[in-house]
Each structure stands twice: as structure tokens, then as C-alpha cells.
Amino acid sequence: MPTITLPAWLTGMNGKSLAGPIIIIALLSMMILPLPAMALDVFFTFNIALSILVLLIGLQTAKPLDFLAFPTVLLVTTMLRLSLNVASTRIVLTEGHTGPDAAGKVIEAFGHFLIGGNYTVGIVVFIILTIINFTVVTKGAGRIAEVGARFALDAMPGKQMAIDADLNAGLIGDDVAKRRRAEVGQEAEFYGAMDGASKYVRGDAVAGILVIVINIVGGLIVGIVQHDLAFADAVKNYTLLAIGDGLVAQIPSIIISIAAGVVVSRVANEQDVGTQLTNQLFTNAKALNITAMISGGIGIIPGMPHFAFLGIAAVLGGIAYLLKVTRVQEAKADEVPAEKAENPEASWDDVVPVEMIGLEVGIGLVSLVDLVQGGDLIKRIKSLRKKFAQDVGFLPVPVHIRDNLDLNANRYSIKIKGAEVASGEAHSAQFLAIDSGTVTGILNGVPTVDPAFGLPAVWINSDTRDQAQGMGYTVVDASTVIATHLNHIISIHAAEFLGRQEVQQLLDRLSVDSPKLVEEVVPKVLSLAAVQKVLQNLLAEAVHIRDMRTIMEALSEFAVYTQDANELTVQVRIKLGRVIAQQLYPEGNQIPVVALENQLETLLMTVVQSGGDGSAIEPGLAETLVRLTERAVKQQEANGMTAILLVPGRLRAILSKFLRRTMPSLHVLSHDELPSSKTVRIVNIIGGQ
């Protein structure tokens, strides 16, 4: 038996990808090919069910982008109604003389039960539905979509720069940044598509009016001229069919229009429309009580429908009473019993442990951490911890946030182990415009400095944001300012957050893939405390510890010769040389560095050989070394390069410890740590002429 081979383009399609072409072909077929009355009943019923389904999906969406396919759905449902109008018109004109059920039971039911067989009522109802759909719902939804598209396009550059700022601050990763950029573009495209798609529904309303007129006039001509019907019989049959046909198409149309209005008119948050309406309309007991009293007052006026008004007043008053009772019960549940509050016995629960990382905010910044008020600082801090764990190699302890009434309203304080290490000022309703060094103008605002990196900046109002971005400023909100500052502090003090528990968790994770390696080192050769000290030494000099396998292999190799954590750190750094170089200069094979002048290097080597450390350097020499190094570091950073001092291996640890006190951005590397794949370019010499 011969084998039939289908084309590759057809075999590569799945059922979902074929749905689109099949739907379009079916719609075109309904316009061209005659359909029996039974098929019309099925399609009209499907059209009504589809419109209800679309409305319910629109009500359940939390934000417009959750229903990206809606503009296409709007087009398809409109074409479905028009196709059914063409198919039903064909049957009405060809079979209408046989009776009101000529075009199927659905049209007959709408003609009889919804309008009671009264043509005037049917025409009026149809016109009212069309006016509501055309001039109210569709026009309003289209206007909202038009304005939404305009604002989305205007805000796109600012949103893109905000995403870049979050990415540069380490608050989000590349994947999140790509997703947010895609959402910004999709938002503008969605509203633009909705603006155009709403024209389909408006055109459908006009087409519905024309179709019903054509069906009535054409039916009368066909019935009287071709089928010799009496005028009264022709009016009865064809008018009833035309009105039923118009209503059975117009009702799904208005349902779809309502769905469009719901989707484009809602403000994005984490709740669907039903939850939003319930929470915002029926949770204010005071407003419900006032409304109940007004309704009750109207209900006791003579001549008014007492049952309706007094019934509504009773329902609203009951809801308000239940809300009040519920809140009183919740308040009592939170209260401490009086007998327990008076002179309670001391217990271990009164011993409050010191928080590893704490963030205290003034009363004016509470809105930034309050989710009810739309604050996103907590989410940013969670993203910050995740980004830190991905980059550095371990998960820091959670950040405890609380308000502090002793702080000024707009101040915040960052504490480590209960002691303040940094503080700053932020304004929740304003933006910080940071001078990136290439700005083209001066902004009106409150001058300040970026709390994280000390760059000149200005606090500005929201209406000046676009102007600041146009001048080249980096504009961030108050949450980003605090989160960036906190991220900077956590990075500087990373070594303090690596405790025994975190080290044990790192070893447990490594033991899953390399159990023998971990067993060979801990506790056979080194204690957990020794491994912790080595890792802390690396973190103190901003070396990431993600490559725990290489670190443990280096410890396994050299721990048999020495147990000194500083000596082991030297060997681990050499093993991590490629990682360190990649971390400092991720692109290119050439590393620009600062070197010591030969005589200065020889003098420092003499100090080391005599058994001294950084504190043994003669004061005059130490002052000169610091001054010259600071000058070189500023030149490196001014040229956009990472400040790296390249020294012999015996000098590296001493100079790093000595210079890091005043220049935390300086990285001191030894010749042994540079991988062979990188070349060195000396751009400055300390001590040279």
C-alpha cells in the first residue's frame, strides 16, 4: 500500500496553530455557502455562549495585558456575527414565506419571547440596544483605549530608563529586565490594537441597523411579489424574522462591548474586577450607613415605593452592622488581656535577638513599605537578596524593616547587628535625579547627593521627571534610592553576613554533587571556622564565592601545608584568578592597571621581609603612598575604568588591608592571580614622575 506523505509545513503544525486558519475559512464559508436552519441555531447559540465567555474572562483579569488576545477576539467575534447575519439574511429572504421559524428556533424565540411578537416593541428594543452599544459602551471603550495608547507611548522612554536603573542597581536580573521591557512594548501595542479593534464593534452596530432594514424591506418585496403573500402576512413573517435576527446578533455584540470596556478601563493591580468592586464599595461602614439612611428617608415619603426603598436601606444597614461587628471582634482578638498586661513575669521571650540587617524608616517613608498604599520597597528588597545570592554565592539573612518615630519623617537608617552603619534621606512623593556626568542643564529642586555612591543629585517633583531624563539625568524613585543604598551596604559588609550556618549550608549543597571533596576537607583537615574565615577574607575584598568547588579543591590541596586562614586565602585567590579577572573586567582580554614604581616597590618589600605589616610602614611613607594611590584611583575612575593596583604576591595582602580603609573601591591584585588569557596594560605608576 503506498505511503502518503504530507507536506512538512502541514505536519509541523499542531492543533492550536491550525485553529486560526480553520476559523477564518469557516467564517468565509458561512458568508458564501447556504446554511440550514439547524446549523444557524447551533452557531447563534455558540455566538451567545462565546460572548459570555469573553465577558467572564475579562472580569477575571487582573490587568489588561492578561488578555493580550482580546483585540483579535474582538475581530473574530465581530466577523462571526456578520457571517451569521449574511447566512440568516439568505434564509430569511428565501424561506421567510414559510413562517416565523424559517431561520431557526433561536431567531423565532427572540422574536416571540423577548419582544412578545410586537413589532413596534422589537424595533424600539433593537434601536435602544444599538444606541447603547454604539454611542455609550463602544465609544467610551475606544476613547479609553486611544488615551491609554497615547499615554503608554509617552511614558515608554521613562519606563525603559527606570528598568535600566533597576538593572544597573542590581535590583533585577537580565531576565526580569527583558520581561519588563517586553511588557512596556506590549502595553502600548495592546491599547493601540484596542483603539482600532473598537472600530469593528461600531461598524458592526451600523451594519446591524442596515441588515434589519434590508431584511424587512427585502422580505416584503420577496414575500409579496414572488410568493404572493398578503401584505399583513408578509409584514408578520419578515418583520418578526428581521427583528429576531437583529436581536440575536445585537445582544452578543453588546456583551462583547462591555467586556472591551471592562478590560481597557480597569487599573492594573493584583485583584480581579469583582474583588475590586466588593472591597471598594462594600467595606466602608460609614458610607453604607449614610446611604441606608438616605434610602430609608426616601422610602417613608408618601407615594414612594416603600418596600423597595426600605428593603434596600435594611440590606445596606445590615452590611454596615456586620462590618462593624467584624472589626470589633478583630480588634479584641489583637488586644492583650488586662490580667496578662499587668506586671507580667519576665521570660526568655523578653530577650530580643539582635537583627543582623535592619532598615528603619521615618513616618514619612512608611508608605514605601505599606503594600496597601502601593509601596514596593519590600518587593525590591526581596529582589535585591535574590540578585545578591545569584551573584555573590550565598543568601544573606532577611532584612527587618520597621518604622522609627525618633527619625525625621524622611530619614532612614541601615543597621547591622543593631549598630547604624549608614543613613540617608528620601522623599516618597518625589524622584531623585542623579547627575551622571553628562547632563545638559540644571534642575529646580532640592540639591543633595546620592546616598549610595555620593554622586551629586537633586530631589524633583514628578512633573519634572521627563525634563530631567531629557537632560541626561538618571531618575529613580524613593524606593529605588533606599534599595540601592541598602544593596551597596550589604555588598560592602558581605563578610559579616556569612556565619557558620551559611557556611554549613554552602557545604551541604556542594556535598550533593561532590561529597568526597567536602568530607576530605571538613572536618578532617580544616574546621568549619577555618573555612568560614577563608570565605570571609574573600568577601571582604569583594571576591564572589559562587565557585565553591574550586575553593574547596584549593583548601584540600594546601591545607596539608598550613592552617593559617590568610595563607590559605592567598592560594584560593590564585585558583580563582580567572573568576576575579572576569568579575572586574568581564569584557576584553586586556586589563588596565596601576603599578608601583620600582624603588617604592623595593622599599615596601623590605618592610615585609623585616616582618612588618601595613601598620609598620613609616608614617611619612604611608601618607605619601595613600596620597599617590588616591590620585591614581581617581584618574582610573574618571576614565571609566575599575581601579586595580597590581603588586607582587608578598605585598598584596598588606597593601590591600592598608589601602582598603580609605579607598574601598580599589582592588589590589597580585601577579600570580592574573590568568594567562589576560594581558596587562599599565596606565599609571604610583611613585613615578
Residue 608 contacts residue 615 (beta carbons within 8 Å): no
Model confidence at 333, in pLDDT bands (50, 70, 90)? Answer: low
- DSSP lists the bridge partners of residue 647 as 670
Q: Is 526's pLDDT higher than 60?
A: yes
Q: How many CB atoms lie within 10 A of CB 577?
A: 18
pLDDT of residue 2: 47
Nine-digit cell string for 411:
530619614
- Express each pLDDT in 105-155 by its tens digit: 777 776 666 556 566 776 777 777 777 766 766 666 666 666 666 666 666
Residue 412 above 90 pLDDT? yes
Q: What is the pLDDT of residues 626-642, one digit of tens each?
A: 888 888 888 888 787 88
pLDDT score of 192 more than 80: no
Distance, CA of 424 to CA of 411 (rounded, Å): 6
Q: Of 525, 541, 601, 527, whose CA–CA distance to 576 is shortest?
A: 541
Residues paired with residue 399 on neighbouring β-strands, in sequence order: 357
Specify the higher pLDDT residue, 596 or 37: 596
pLDDT digits (tens, 9 = 90+) for 55-105: 887 777 767 666 777 777 777 877 887 787 777 777 777 776 666 666 667
Residue 572 above 60 pLDDT? yes
- For residue 339, pLDDT over 60 is answered with no
Helix (H) or strand (E) holding 203: helix 174-221
Name the DSSP class of 229. Answer: -
At a CB cut-off of 8 Å and minimum separation 6, what does 381 contact? 359, 399, 401, 483, 486
- Rounded to the nearest integer, the mean pLDDT of the chain is 78
